[in-house]
Amino acid sequence: MGPIGVRFAFSVAAALGFAVLPLNALAGGLQVKDFEGMPVKAVASGASASNLAAQAECTGTYPNRGVAKLKWSIAQPRGTEQRVLVSIYGFREGRFEATPPLPPDQTEYTWDRIQGQSVHSWMVLTRRGNAWEASPQETFDGPGCVADMRTGALR
């Protein structure tokens, strides 16, 4: 996609109310350099959030819409807050959406901004002091939700 296509995609995302946040990806890895003005670090296994699992499913509340139930084990020792980052572009592209701040003991979040049947990458950031520690990245596929638009019932 060229520069005009990228600008158009950002404009559409902004018009739909999605926050598309720029990150500086480090070459050769998933790690990001900063989030909200604080550095992001990769840490030893077990020190960051772990055991990430996602279950995407259709919702009867909104026809043709899905949600993903994201679950993880909290970092040890706990940080002061957590954020979940989700991207359909991959984190190397530097475009993703983030949850609001989550309590340090929260272990699940329902993501309702599924983008069709795209592959969604996600990770958990744990805040410690003036830095974030990144979990390993996981993925989930958006569900194929088909609804009868006359009745709103899922098929």
Q: Answer whether residue 63 is part of any domain.
A: yes
Number of structural domains the chain divides into: 1
Bridge pairing between strands 119-128 and 34-35: unpaired
**Which CATH number fits the domain that encloses residue 125?**
2.60.40.10
pLDDT digits (tens, 9 = 90+) for 94-138: 788 999 999 999 999 999 988 888 899 999 999 999 999 999 999
Domain assignment present for residue 56? The answer is: yes
Q: What is the pTM of this model?
A: 0.73
Is there a domain that residue 42 lies in? Answer: yes
| pLDDT for residue 13 is more than 60 | no
Any idea what DSSP says for residue 148?
A: -
